[in-house]
Amino acid sequence: MSKIIAFAGKGGVGKTTVASLVIRYITNSDKGSILAVDADPNSNLGETMGLQVTTTIGDIRETYMKDPQGIPSGMNKINYIETLVEQAIIENKKFDLLVMGRQEGQGCYCMVNNILNNFTEKLGAHYKYMVVDNEAGMEHLSRRTSGKVDILFLVTDYSLRGLRALRRIHDMLDRLNLDVKELGIVVTRGPEKLSETFLNEVKEIGLPIVGVIPDDPSLLEFDMERKSLLELADSSSSVLAVQKIMDTHCPA
């Protein structure tokens, strides 16, 4: 069974950045195969890791829905869709990437969504790690069929507003059919010493802070130059902070 690592938090707090750095950590430490899943309709996980995204699961859904009768002979609905998904996997040397994309239409997509969700779960089982970057809401996580997440990193910037968003997500988790083994808060762009006010709010949420990622100017530089975060220097403060989190919470 693969280890599923997922990220949630308010918009723009650094989920995709931390997800990329976690992927960088796993690939560099040769811990095993990874399926990265970009579950944000405004997908950009591929971009932050220097990959060109050509097909998304959303595209597959549209292709199928436009012509549901167009299944090649000798195939049924399920294996036709599964073949399309296999073709949408972006493979590269260090890990594979699957981009969920958008759901455009208003029609009844339940059947095709079920096939897609089931197959993504099945696919994930072939990898040692599945790293899922979510959108600001919890849509994708709440649609997961098996509902198992090994580590859910709740990402917030150094603000009370970010923490309140985490509190809402935390409350929502109870209502979802999700089996989350470990939950931890990651604070991005945080100072070395967090304020009493911030820590008191964290105490009320009742979850541990698993790491603080400092404001790292090289992230801005890499963004501006469209460079892959996989190429950040080992000595970058954000790389070191994620390494510390992973060494403690996700040892080989």
- Which residues bind to ligand ATP, rule: CB under 6 A? 9, 11-17, 40, 136, 188-189, 213, 215-216, 219-220, 223, 238
| Least distance (Å) between residue 117 CB and ligand ATP | 21
Closest C-alpha among 118, 127, 63 to residue 95: 127
14 binds, among ligand ATP, Mg ion, none (CB under 5 to 8 A by kind): ligand ATP
Alpha-carbon distance of 8 to 234, in angstroms, equals 25
Whose tokens are 């095709």? That residue is 112
Which residue number has the CB closest to Mg ion?
Answer: 16
CA distances 84 to 98, 145, 213, Å, are 12, 20, 38
| Cα distance between residue 108 and residue 97, in whole Å | 27
- 């897609």: which residue's tokens? 116
Q: How far is the CB of 133 from Mg ion (least distance, A)?
A: 6
The rounded distance, in Å, linking the Cα atoms of 243 and 240 is 5
Q: How far is the CB of 238 from Mg ion (least distance, A)?
A: 15
Q: Which amino acid appears at position 117 of this protein?
A: N
Under rule CB under 5 A, residue 243 binds Mg ion? no
Residue type at 207 in one-letter notation: L
The answer to whether 30 and 118 are in contact (CB under 8 A) is no
Q: Nearest approach, Cβ of 158 to ligand ATP (angstroms)?
A: 10
Nearest Cα residue to 154 out of 19, 2, 31: 19
Which of residues 112 and 151 has its CB atom nearest to ligand ATP in the complex?
Answer: 151
In angstroms, give the least distance from the CB of 79 to Mg ion: 32
Encoded amino acid at 71, one letter: I
Q: Which does 11 bind (CB under 5 to 8 A by kind): ligand ATP, Mg ion, none?
A: ligand ATP
CB 65 within 8 A of CB 73: no
Shortest CB 223 distance to Mg ion, Å: 12
Beta strand spans in 104-144 (E): 129-134
Nearer to ligand ATP, 219 or 246 (CB): 219
Which listed option, ligand ATP, Mg ion, none, makes contact with residue 12 (CB within 5 to 8 Å by class)? ligand ATP
What is the Rg, in whole angstroms, of the alpha carbon atoms belonging to the chain?
Answer: 19
Confirm or reject binding of residue 16 to Mg ion (CB under 5 A).
yes
Which CB, 29 or 142, lies closer to Mg ion?
A: 142
136 binds, among ligand ATP, Mg ion, none (CB under 5 to 8 A by kind): ligand ATP
For position 2 contacting Mg ion by CB under 5 A, the verdict is no
Residue 48 sits in the site that holds Mg ion (CB under 5 A): no
Residues that bind Mg ion (CB under 5 A): 15-16
